[in-house]
Structure 1
Amino acid sequence: MLLKVRREVIVALDTCRQPVPATFRFPHTLYEYNITSESEVAERLQHATIAITDSVPITGETIAKCPSLKLICVAIVGVDHIDLDACRKRGIRVCNSPGATTEAVAEHAIALYFAARRNVVRAHNWIAQGGEWEKDHSGLGPYDRVPLPCTRGTMGIIGSGKIGKRVATIGRILGLKVLSAERRGVAAGDVRAGRTEFETMLRQSTAIILTCPLTEETANTISEKELALMPPGCVVVNVGRGGLINEEAVVSALKEQRLAGYAADVFTNEPANVENSLLLSSKAPNLTLTPHVAWYNSTSLDGMLKAIQDIVEGFIAGSSINVIC
């Protein structure tokens, strides 16, 4: 009697951001899509047993229409675009790739820090528009404040995972004093060793970098209350998720010069455009924005490719790794 070997159906939703392995070492059919809109997800995953996504959302509504789905492999660290509750109820395994992009995101965070601290984008626009340098021979027109050197700065880091730790290491090498923030709401007497009470970190930092995931607890980590506690020369850098900050509060603080700069690779609504993003439509001063590309470098691409292979093949072999749920 011949045993029928199950053939897995693998669907990769956004290979424009992350290619997938050329083959997997088990019977399968692989469908690759360069990009998938939210309206196309359910149809493309209808018969899938394994979904591979970078940033394409997989909602509870989609999961309800995909009866064969048993694994969602997320090529990046964040999983806030996956409905984890729906996956748990259906017994769908969700795995992510936590270490592949650490170096790239940390380097990008530091690049954004310098761009915000040194007013790089504002200075570029000032000189590129023509005429300003002729009128202000000092060349200092874009600067509202005298920038601090690293050796006089304090970097507060919100998020103590691999990326946060790597940012902290680079910050110390640059001569910055580094504070690793305790979670919001933790009493001073309960602060863990090596951490700084959250509001104390806000008051003492000349730069704050967010590297934490977006959860119910971390949503709006930086809003009006937190901005009011920061020194006026502070800059904020967000390489975590857009929902970690209240964009309206940040724009107001920039326009009122209560915040010296905001730099971000992430937005509340993505893909961001002038219609759905206040950051892009506000014309607030000293904004430095990039289109969610902090993860992108050659090492990350190789690491994510290996992570996808290991996650998918490990799951089929019965030894799941990087399990979120």
Structure 2
Amino acid sequence: MSLPTVIFLDRATIPTHIELPHLPFEHQWVEYDFTSPEQVVERLKDAHVAITNKVVLDQQVLSQLPDLKLIAVSATGFNNVDVEFCREHKIAVTNVQGYSTRSVPEHVIAMTYALKRNLFGYHQDIAKGEWQRNKQFCFFSHPITDVAGSTLGIVGSGALGQATATLAKAIGMQVIFAERKGAQPCRDGFVPFEQVLKMSDVLTLHCPLNEQTHNLIGKQELAMMKPSAILINAGRGGLVDETALVAALRQGVIAGAGVDVFTQEPADINNPLLDAMDLPNLLLTPHVAWGSDSSIQSLVDILMDNVTAFIEGREQNRVV
């Protein structure tokens, strides 16, 4: 390979205050904050290495890039890359794992406290003047429930699920892991999926999104949960039927929900969750659970090391 050209297609997915480590080999570096689908082929026509977070690199695009040798995905998920085409045409693909095992669990626990103690609801009430009208030193317009002693059900037993379990246990929660939906018999240490729905005071999702898990939590599953339970999704947007979730919150089927991921991102005006932002028991964040400064710095360190390893002929974090 001649002097490698490395092109980052969506550098703006990394905050500007996070520095990218310097690649320890001679190369040409080009970065773009954003890249539209129409710009991908033109921008990658001379690239040997493409770095992407969410820019789609499908067969139609990749078939026009004969010099491309490596796609370095700056995330764990790589569903935006046609890995089968890459395998057939000897294009290496790498991803980044394990960088958010502190950030995501902290976000889940933060949402748990906010919802169990109804912090958002009380904030809204003060803004509406309820405290002033109440004329007492305090007022109780929403239930306040303890986190310690409550049961956390976790769907997904990978690194993030395990890290969330560790943090939850440290603050006094009881932790149970859900077996895959419909799986028989249960593995050691797992509880049947439907039973976890019924037992959990807090249910948190950390499983991958695929055909089996799409709309894993819908109207039927929400109805199995306790009326006092809360649901937290910091996994993937398609795991939850968003319309059913909003209906469950409005009807009191469950007590609250924290959502960091959406079926379409950014969420548009057609997303039912955005129409429900008046609810005091719904907490929304824009896919930032993973994004503490330390987490993002770890991500870019691994990302750039993946590129270096490939150039040096080493396999590291290879998907293909």
TM over 0.5, shorter chain: yes
Q: What is the correspondence of 1:1-325 to structure 2 with a 5 Å cutoff?
A: 6-18=2-14, 21-128=20-127, 130-137=128-135, 138-141=138-141, 143=142, 146-187=143-184, 190-273=185-268, 275-283=269-277, 285=279, 286-325=281-320
- In 2 relative to 1, CA 153–75 (structure 1 residues): closer, same or farther, beyond 3 Å? same
Q: 1:4-37 CA distances to partner (integer Å, 9 max, x unpaired)?
A: x512221112222326735323332111112334
Q: Per the alignment, in what secondary structure is the counterpart of residue 228 of structure 1? A: helix
Give me the whole-angstrom Cα distance separating, in 2, the residues matched to 1:281 and 1:171: 31
Task: Say which SS state the counterpart of residue 236 (structure 1) adopts.
Answer: strand
The CA deviation at 1:234 is: 1.0
C-alpha separation in 2, matches of 1:252 and 1:42: 43
Instruction: Give SS of 2:191's match.
Output: coil
CA distance in 2 between partners of 1:151 and 1:240 (Å):
23
Note the alpha carbon deviations across 1:284-320, whole angstroms, 9 max, x for none: 6211111111122232122112201221111122222
Task: Note if contact 1:12-1:20 (Cα within 8 Å) is conserved in structure 2.
Answer: no
Q: Which AA in structure 1 matches 2:191?
A: T
What are the Cα deviations for residues 132-153 of structure 1, in whole angstroms up to 9, with x where unaligned? Answer: 2223345323x2xx33312331
Summarize the Cα distance change of 1:31–1:77 in structure 2 as closer, same or farther, 3 Å threshold. same
Judge which range, 165-174 or 64-73, deviates more: 64-73
- Unaligned 5+ segments in structure 1 are none
- More deviation, 132-141/301-310: 132-141
Q: TM-score, normalised by structure 1?
A: 0.89
Q: State the SS of the aligned residue for 1:113.
A: helix
Query: 1:81, CA displacement in angstroms?
Result: 3.3
* Structure 2 residue identity aligned to 1:140: F
Distance 2:221 2:84 in 1: 30
State the 1:39 CA deviation. Answer: 4.1
Counterpart amino acid of residue 319 in structure 1: R
Deviation at 1:223, TM superposition (A): 1.1
Q: Secondary structure at the match of 1:240?
A: coil
Would the alpha carbon gap of residues 232 and 303 (structure 1) be closer, same or farther in structure 2, given more than 3 Å must change?
A: same
Rounded to whole Å, the distance in 2 between the matches of 1:284 and 1:65 is 48
Q: How far apart in 1 are the matches of 2:308 and 2:29?
A: 14
Unaligned regions of 5+ residues in structure 2, if any? none
Spell out, residue by residue over 1:30-75, the C-alpha distance to the aligned partner (whole angstroms, 9 max, x if none). Answer: 1111233444334323332222123334344333343333322122
CA contact under 8 A between 2:243 and 2:272: conserved in structure 1?
yes
Structure 2 counterpart of 1:267, which letter?
Answer: F
CA distance in 2, matches of 1:198, 1:246: 17
* More divergent stretch after superposition (298-307 vs 22-31): 22-31
Paired with 2:267 and 2:94, the residues of 1 have a C-alpha distance of 26
Aligned 8 A contact 1:6 1:27 in 2: no
- 8 Å Cα contact 2:112-2:147 kept in structure 1: no
Q: CA RMSD in A?
A: 2.1
Structure 1 residue ranges, 4+ long, deviating more than 6 angstroms after superposition: none
Change (3 A) 1:90 1:306: same
Conserved 8 A contact 2:116-2:146 = no
Deviates more, 1:72-81 or 1:93-102: 72-81
CA distance in 1, matches of 2:62, 2:84: 11
- Structure 2 CA distance for partners of 1:153 and 1:51, relative to 1, 3 Å: same
SS at match of 1:209: strand
- Work out whether residues 95 and 317 of structure 2, in 8 Å CA contact, stay in contact via their aligned partners in 1: yes
Structure 1 CA distance, aligned partners of 2:278 and 2:254? 11
- SS of the residue 1:152 aligns to: coil
* Partners of 1:95 and 1:117 in 2: CA distance: 39
Query: Aligned partners of 1:86, 1:304: CA distance in 2, in Å?
Result: 26
Do 2:150 and 2:174's aligned partners in 1 also have CA atoms closer than 8 Å?
yes
For 2:32 and 2:113, the matched residues in 1 are separated by 36
**CA 1:66 to 1:277, structure 2 compared with 1: closer, same or farther past 3 Å?**
farther
Change (3 A) 1:224 1:42: farther
* Alignment size in residue pairs: 314
